[in-house]
């Protein structure tokens, strides 16, 4: 986000002490999107990382001010596109909380199952992309094979593969597909078989371990101070799983563990996400057979109007705590809306985590932060 002259100055000149300044991104194979990092290097060692954002900023917050409460939900799919279902869920939960809409049990169960499937899909993609950042191309294809099963389930039930747009305030847009349960079970079976592959290929691999262990350390205090949430904070030993702390939908009815590691390094973040996938499978297994019969959408008014006041909900996306803050004036549109995106806070810790390490470590650290750029820029 420099003007032209400054870009030229940046790439040809050196830093104040003769450091190398490289512009990593906005087009760079490891940034997975249009993230622009200005990295100050001393040889191979990183001195400072300065993120420059905004390449995919669409001002969703401003956009939502002119949309009705029914409409704005689907814009949030475009923020963290890998957990779009959970984003939608967060917005719907806020409206339901604000207007006291009763959600049928069936809808709650399905929402949670789909959230967990989304989480697995997101983590699978992350796993592949992370391995690719470290130079191992092959796991990417293996993870995508399982992810494809999830996207097919989504396609069949929700009608879309990535931005599902399946949630309406009060429930779901339509009922699940008759094959839904069968397919989910088939997926669980395949996933359990294939998850060992990643242990052989990635987790236990000596190169991978030496690339991630002790790299990008984030202490628990720093994690809290930087506002990190999700797997990033949990790998540092901070308990911050919204599903446990402030359960929504039917998360209070299922048993699962909040995965907490204490090392705070890249490997711990990796392990947290891998174990989280298994916990998600556990949640789905508990719910898939006992989806109650009944309505899939509750009774709502045609035109939704949030009462005057301020509302905040949070949900646990694949990347951490996603918060929706709405200031309502009582009309059909939100007066002011703020999305607290997990990636934005997690990114702010990047400089702290990666400064002093090598360029190769930056890839490991950035990879385990699991950055989704539209989520950061909004």
Q: Are 218 and 349 within 8 A, CB to CB? A: yes
- Please work out, in degrees rounded to the nearest 5, the angle formed at the alpha carbon of residue 117 by the alpha carbons of 114 and 118: 85
* Residue closer to other proteins, measured from CB, 145 or 182: 145
In the complex, the smallest distance separating the C-beta of residue 269 from other proteins, rounded to whole angstroms, is 16
Please state, in angstroms and rounded to a whole number, the distance separating the CA atoms of residues 357 and 215: 8
Tokens of 321: 């705590």
In the complex, the smallest distance separating the C-beta of residue 325 from other proteins, rounded to whole angstroms, is 6
CA 37 to chain centre: 20
* Residue closer to other proteins, measured from CB, 268 or 343: 343
SS3 108: helix
* Residue closer to other proteins, measured from CB, 19 or 285: 19
* Residue closer to other proteins, measured from CB, 100 or 290: 100
Sequence-distant (≥ 6) Cβ neighbours of residue 36 within 8 angstroms: 1, 23, 24, 25, 26, 51, 52, 53, 55
In the complex, the smallest distance separating the C-beta of residue 286 from other proteins, rounded to whole angstroms, is 26
On the question of a cis peptide bond just before residue 26, with omega within 30 degrees of 0, the verdict is yes
Scanning the structure block, which residue is given the tokens 């990635």? 202
In the complex, the smallest distance separating the C-beta of residue 283 from other proteins, rounded to whole angstroms, is 23
* Residue closer to other proteins, measured from CB, 282 or 338: 338
In the complex, the smallest distance separating the C-beta of residue 194 from other proteins, rounded to whole angstroms, is 10
In the complex, the smallest distance separating the C-beta of residue 43 from other proteins, rounded to whole angstroms, is 8
* Residue closer to other proteins, measured from CB, 285 or 360: 360
């Amino acid at each position: 986000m420099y003007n032209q002259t400054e870009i030229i100055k940046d790439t040809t000149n050196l830093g104040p002490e003769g450091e190398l300044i490289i512009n990593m991104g906005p087009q760079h194979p490891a940034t997975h999107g249009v993230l622009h990092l200005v990295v100050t290097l001393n040889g191979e060692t990183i001195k400072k990382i300065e993120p420059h954002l905004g390449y995919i900023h669409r001002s969703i917050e401003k956009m939502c001010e002119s949309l009705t409460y029914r409409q704005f939900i689907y814009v949030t799919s475009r923020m963290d596109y890998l957990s779009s279902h959970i984003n939608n869920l967060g917005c719907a939960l806020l409206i339901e909380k604000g207007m006291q809409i009763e959600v049928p049990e069936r809808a709650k169960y399905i929402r949670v199952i789909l959230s967990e499937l989304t989480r697995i899909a997101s983590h699978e993609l992350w796993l592949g992309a992370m391995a690719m950042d470290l130079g191992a191309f092959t796991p990417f294809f293996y993870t995508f094979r399982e992810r494809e099963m999830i996207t097919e389930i989504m396609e069949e039930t929700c009608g879309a593969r990535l931005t599902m747009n399946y949630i309406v305030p009060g429930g779901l847009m339509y009922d699940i597909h008759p094959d839904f349960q069968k397919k989910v079970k088939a997926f669980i079976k395949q996933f359990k078989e294939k998850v060992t592959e990643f242990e052989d290929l990635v987790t236990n691999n000596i190169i991978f371990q030496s690339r991630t262990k002790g790299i990008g350390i984030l202490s628990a205090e720093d994690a809290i101070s930087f506002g990190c949430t999700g797997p990033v904070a949990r790998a540092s030993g901070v308990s911050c799983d919204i599903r446990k702390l402030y359960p929504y939908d039917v998360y209070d009815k299922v048993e699962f563990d909040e995965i907490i590691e204490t090392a705070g390094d890249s490997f711990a973040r990796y392990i947290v996400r891998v174990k989280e996938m298994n916990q998600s499978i556990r949640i789905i297994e508990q719910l898939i057979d006992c989806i109650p019969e009944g309505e899939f959408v509750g009774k709502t008014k045609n035109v939704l109007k949030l009462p005057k006041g301020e509302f905040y909900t949070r949900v646990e996306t694949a990347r951490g705590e996603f918060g929706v803050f709405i200031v309502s004036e009582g009309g059909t549109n939100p007066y002011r809306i703020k999305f607290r995106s997990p990636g934005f806070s997690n990114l702010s810790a990047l400089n702290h985590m990666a400064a002093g390490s090598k360029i190769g470590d930056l890839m490991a650290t950035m990879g385990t932060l699991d950055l989704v750029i539209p989520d950061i820029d909004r």
